[in-house]
C-alpha cells in the first residue's frame, strides 16, 4: 500500500514541475513521487537515513551479518554462492563487496566496515 504525502511547493518550482511532467506526457504528482523516491533512495545509499529503531539485529562480525542475510544477498545476484560461503566463513570483503552489502541490506558503509572479520583469514584475501 502506498502512503499519501501532501507537499507545498513554491509557485516557480510547481510551474517548472508541471512543465517538466507535461513534456514527458506525465502528471506532476507522478513525476514528483518519482523524484522523491529517487532522492530517498540516494540518501539511503549514502547512509543519510538512519535505520528504524530496533529494526536491525546487532552483529559482531561480518560473517554473522552475511549468514543471517544470506538469502537476501543471494537474491540480489551480486554475490556468487561460493563468495557468500567465503564471507560467511570470515573471508575479508573487498571494497566493492562492502558497498554492495551496505546497499542490499540497508546499512551504512561505516556499519559494515565496523564489523570484525575473522582474524584467522589472510588479510590479503580479496576474491
Q: What is the pLDDT of residue 54?
A: 60
Q: Quick one: pLDDT at residue 101?
A: 93
Instruction: Read off the C-alpha cell for 60.
Output: 559482531
Q: Give the whole-angstrom CA distance, residue 48 versus residue 116.
A: 23
Which residue, 29, 6, 5, is CA-closest to 18?
29
pLDDT per residue, tens digit, the chain (127 aa), is: 678 888 899 999 999 999 999 999 999 999 999 999 899 888 877 767 766 666 677 788 999 999 999 999 999 899 999 999 999 999 999 999 999 998 998 888 888 888 888 655 444 444 3
Query: Which of 6, 9, 28, 29 lies closest to 18 in space, CA to CA?
Result: 28
Number of alpha helices (DSSP H) and beta strands (DSSP E) in the chain: 7, 0
CA separation for the pair 29, 72 (Å, rounded): 32
pLDDT of 1: 64
Domain boundaries, given as residue ranges, for the chain:
11-45, 62-114
Q: Are 118 and 90 in contact (CB under 8 A)?
A: yes
Burial of 76 (0-12, 13-18, 19+ CB in 10 A): middle
Amino acid at each position: 500500500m502506498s502512503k499519501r504525502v501532501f507537499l507545498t511547493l513554491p509557485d516557480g518550482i510547481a510551474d517548472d514541475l508541471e512543465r517538466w511532467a507535461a513534456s514527458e506526457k506525465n502528471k506532476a504528482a507522478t513525476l514528483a513521487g518519482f523524484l522523491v523516491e529517487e532522492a530517498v533512495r540516494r540518501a539511503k545509499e549514502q547512509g543519510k537515513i538512519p535505520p528504524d529503531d530496533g529494526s536491525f539485529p546487532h552483529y559482531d562480525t561480518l560473517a554473522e551479518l552475511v549468514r543471517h542475510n544470506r538469502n537476501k544477498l543471494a537474491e540480489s545476484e551480486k554475490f556468487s554462492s561460493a563468495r557468500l560461503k567465503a564471507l560467511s566463513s570470515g573471508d575479508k570483503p573487498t571494497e566493492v563487496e562492502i558497498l554492495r552489502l551496505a546497499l542490499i541490506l540497508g546499512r551504512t558503509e561505516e556499519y559494515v566496515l565496523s564489523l570484525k572479520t575473522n582474524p584467522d583469514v589472510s588479510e590479503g584475501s580479496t576474491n
